[in-house]
Structure 1
Amino acid sequence: MAKNKYLFPLIIMAALFFLIGFMTTMNNSMIDFLKEAFGLDNRPNGQILKQLPNTFFFGAYALSVPVGLMIHRIGYKNGVTTGVGLLALGIVLCIPLVALGYIPFLFGVAVFAIGIVFLQVAANPYVNALGPAKTAASRLTLTNFLNSVATVIAPMFVSMLIISDGADASEMAPTQVQEPFMIIGGIAVVIFVVMFFLKLPQIKGDEHDDAEVPKEYKSSAFKYTHVWLGSLAIFFYMGIEIGIPSFFADYTKQLGLDFSSAQRTDMLKYYWGGLMVGRLLGIFILQKYTARQILTLCSVGGIVLVASSFAVGSSNAPLAMWLLLGTGLAHSIMWPTIYNLALEDLGPHAGVASGVISSAVIGAAILTPMMGAIQALTGSVVFAISCLFVYYLYLVFFATKGSKIR
């Protein structure tokens, strides 16, 4: 009965994860296009400026804690509806704002990013609660698989519908985003209307079918060390996941590979495709191995792939490129394993803790411009990407030591 009871809400959450993945990756995939369309290379600090789509988008996650507290009061269903509404509003605002300039357009991005924060904070603990605790990581991986399907589609959407109309940098205009954004905005408005009238069950953070013995919990989510260490893990993970596609175009240029802007963006589908395949496999892998084991293996795998890409770069540029794109497979199950470990055994504090953890997604807003500054200072994108080694090593620490409940 429990499975039937939770099936439809899980389908709805999976659809929202698709939407989250599409908008997140589309924003990141437009970095190279926006750089060319707004002529950022000709401006002072252009390497930092071109990373601002990450800053405006992921910076919204700084609101995750108050959003988590709000959702604790208004409920998951209202939180999700609010998120879809803000997402639709932000996309619609981007249509006129892009004609006003780079920064005005990014303010529109910030509005739909706040909607994504509502969805992210509400959806993860909701999925966590839709069934037995022992299969929570597997459910999160399933929904993240659909998220990954969207991340594969988004770069193709950008390369075909936004960039292709002006494949030559001199012909690119910022207003090329308007018609595609009209399509996405229309879809978002329809989803908002559906969500407004849809009835979803109210789920509490401590609701589990297999909870037979009442447990005692600390007075606040803020008193659990693994929540804070897990938040830092998400912070560094975002530098990893977003860092690769954000610097991929410059890395291929440094390798001497002659790609157009559309081709560089389209190639990212292989990176996001690796995440998609890995998350599909993760549904079954996480049934046999612990989240700690998988997170450790994936982090070490990422280190090996990036180091190997650097090692062969000077002698075999195509192989170096594919090794870097291959990190998508290593990154695939990191998010659900970190999230599951950070939310472990929190009961009624899961909603607030989700806000704390989700606020760490701001890592992509902070770390990518920092990496851009390193690139500008050193003149080499390799030095910027090398920051990932520090991020990976922290994830190894969290998996082996930091995630243990105190």
Structure 2
Amino acid sequence: MPVTPTRTHPAAASPYGAALAMLASLFFIWGFITVINGTLLPHLRSVFDLSYTQTTLIESVWFIAYFVASIPSAKLIEHIGYQKSLVTGLLIMAAGAVGMMLAASIPSYGVTLAMLFVIASGITLLQVAANPYVAVIGPPETSSSRLNLVQAFNSLGTVLAPLFGAYLILGRSVGGTAEHGTVLTQAERLADAQSVILPYGLVAVVLVLLAVAIGRFHFPEMGEATKRHTKEERRGHSLWRHRNLVFGVPAIFIYLIAEIGVANLFVNFVAQPQIANLTTEQAGRYLTLMWLGMMVGRFAGAFVMQRIAAETVLAAFSIGAFVVMLMTVFLDGPVAMWSLILVGFFHSIMFPTIFTLGIRGLGPLTEEGSGLLIMAIAGGALVVVQGWLADLYGLQWSFLLTAACELYVLFYALWGCKVTGTEPVKATAAE
């Protein structure tokens, strides 16, 4: 079994501990807001009387923003730098949160879609800047460990968000506390739509405060992480030489189909009479356990990858995810529910590990490669395919798509992530 040398904790051994802690707050907030969006789906399905296809279209709009905004985000970073880009991303998200309050007061399905796109665009800017920042700090062989550690705080946000959403959105609405299959009156739908005003108002305030904190923080010199490479430096280098990136981009894309499909259909799945027969408010609380498993998995992954090669751990977790998804599809009752909860643990390390394996050895192409990997998050938009499968064949059978996605991640871990070309890397001062 491939192993890496035992090292001290990556954050503790680095002179950038304070900067990593500040960046961890960004990972927390975008994890929190992304899952609030997932909690919002059953609520909006009730308010606007949507089919599963229409419900997952909301999530598709969210992830289309990653595809649309990734390259402009990279260009913005080139012009104003990383720190100002982080502040800008937070303020864009705050503007979107205020827009969600407007959409709720109308209420309007179209405005809701537009504001979710704005929020996701802000998160995209944060992702393009922050992920490579963390990955290049410290020894390359422990980059997966570092990113898993910081992504664990992203998972902390995803653990707390369903509680926040279940109490302030689902718990304060008629649709969120009604029995499965209850049909709401028009007046009840209008009242339910306005229940998101308070939570999104709180989110907007927190985002503005965090933007101020990031803007005033003194980030140390970060070397290659903040270097904005010129065209001359990239001349003669090709991203297509790097198998780990070429197969890593679809790995991120396909993995996001699996993660987002599970997260956004979880509440509707476990609420079904043949699974757990819960209200959506109760199901939202169980969703917290899935995100808790993801957080635990990332903390564990950060530790294990100090000793075992990242690709080996990724292969083991993808096999585990495939097995529990088959259990979800072919079993009923509490076993199916707990199998779906357990997939959160197995999904935990996939994004940060694929990301760091994907940029390994890119040298001056790291920024371009990072942008492509973040763009691949748009794979979450194809959750609409699972919504279509759920409408056509049933919600439980639609999770076969998720199981198929796990097999591609296994392929990437076993073969696709192998480095086929290494670009020279030189230390540079931060701009």
Select between 392-401 and 193-202 the one with higher mean Cα deviation: 193-202
1:152/1:273 contact within 8 Å kept: yes
Q: Which amino acid aligns with 1:377?
A: L
1:17/1:144 contact within 8 Å kept: yes
Match of 1:219 among 218, 222, 237: 237
1:309 corresponds to 2:328: yes
3-state SS, counterpart of residue 219 of structure 2: coil
CA–CA separation in structure 2 for the residues paired with 1:216 and 1:108? 37
1:28 corresponds to 2:38: yes
Q: Which amino acid aligns with 1:36?
A: S
Query: Which residue of structure 1 aligns with residue 390 of structure 2?
Result: 375
CA–CA separation in structure 2 for the residues paired with 1:297 and 1:218? 37
Query: Which residue of structure 1 aligns with residue 197 of structure 2?
Result: 178
1:102-152 Cα deviation digits (max 9, x unpaired): 121121111111000000111000011222222211110111111111101
Query: Which residue of structure 1 aligns with residue 60 of structure 2?
Result: 55
Shift of 1:73: 4.2
Q: Which amino acid aligns with 2:399?
A: I
Query: Residues 171-250 of structure 1: matches in 2 within 5 Å?
Result: 171-172=188-189, 173-205=192-224, 219-221=237-239, 223-250=241-268
Q: Which amino acid aligns with 2:391?
A: A
1:18/1:146 contact within 8 Å kept: yes
1:182-214 Cα deviation digits (max 9, x unpaired): 111011111112222333235343689xxxxxx
Query: Which residue of structure 2 aligns with residue 89 of structure 1?
Result: 95
3-state SS, counterpart of residue 400 of structure 1: helix
1:138 corresponds to 2:154: no
CA–CA separation in structure 2 for the residues paired with 1:285 and 1:274? 16
Percent of pairs identical after alignment?
31
Q: Which amino acid aligns with 1:157?
A: F
Query: Which residue of structure 1 aligns with residue 287 of structure 2?
Result: 268
Query: Which residue of structure 1 aligns with residue 358 of structure 2?
Result: 342
1:122/1:351 contact within 8 Å kept: no
2:276/2:337 contact within 8 Å kept: no
Q: Which amino acid aligns with 2:385?
A: M
Shift of 1:226: 2.1
1:27/1:53 contact within 8 Å kept: no
Q: Which amino acid aligns with 1:401?
A: W
CA–CA separation in structure 2 for the residues paired with 1:216 and 1:77? 23
CA–CA separation in structure 1 for the residues paired with 2:12 and 2:300? 25
CA–CA separation in structure 1 for the residues paired with 2:396 and 2:12? 50
CA–CA separation in structure 1 for the residues paired with 2:157 and 2:206? 14
Q: Which has the higher helix share?
A: 1
Q: 1:396 to 1:364 in 2, by over 3 A?
A: same
1:357 corresponds to 2:364: no
Query: Which residue of structure 2 aligns with residue 295 of structure 1?
Result: 314
Q: Which amino acid aligns with 2:205?
A: G
Query: Which residue of structure 2 aligns with residue 211 of structure 1?
Result: none
RMSD over aligned Cα, in angstroms?
A: 2.2
Shift of 1:336: 1.4
Select between 99-108 and 1-10 the one with higher mean Cα deviation: 1-10
CA–CA separation in structure 2 for the residues paired with 1:217 and 1:307? 47
Q: 1:281 to 1:12 in 2, by over 3 A?
A: same
1:293/1:399 contact within 8 Å kept: yes
Q: Which amino acid aligns with 1:244?
A: V
Query: Residues 323-334 of structure 1: matches in 2 within 5 Å?
Result: 323-334=339-350
Q: Which amino acid aligns with 2:325?
A: V
Shift of 1:256: 4.4
- Structure 2 residues without counterparts, runs of 5 or longer: 1-10, 228-232, 421-431
2:104/2:194 contact within 8 Å kept: yes
1:392 corresponds to 2:406: yes
Q: 1:405 to 1:157 in 2, by over 3 A?
A: same
CA–CA separation in structure 1 for the residues paired with 2:74 and 2:241? 16
Select between 86-95 and 117-126 the one with higher mean Cα deviation: 86-95
1:282 corresponds to 2:328: no
Q: Which amino acid aligns with 1:402?
A: G
Select between 216-225 and 134-143 the one with higher mean Cα deviation: 216-225
Q: 1:311 to 1:87 in 2, by over 3 A?
A: same
1:141/1:336 contact within 8 Å kept: yes
3-state SS, counterpart of residue 98 of structure 1: helix
Query: Which residue of structure 2 aligns with residue 12 of structure 1?
Result: 22
CA–CA separation in structure 2 for the residues paired with 1:397 and 1:131? 28
Match of 1:74 among 62, 73, 80: 80
1:98 corresponds to 2:104: yes
TM-score by length of 2: 0.86
1:90/1:108 contact within 8 Å kept: yes
3-state SS, counterpart of residue 199 of structure 1: coil
- Structure 1 residues without counterparts, runs of 5 or longer: 41-45, 209-214
CA–CA separation in structure 2 for the residues paired with 1:86 and 1:218? 36
CA–CA separation in structure 2 for the residues paired with 1:3 and 1:217? 35
Shift of 1:385: 0.8
1:160 corresponds to 2:167: yes
1:241-289 Cα deviation digits (max 9, x unpaired): 1111222233221624321111112210011111011111111111111
Select between 324-333 and 162-171 the one with higher mean Cα deviation: 162-171
CA–CA separation in structure 1 for the residues paired with 2:235 and 2:403? 36
1:2/1:131 contact within 8 Å kept: no
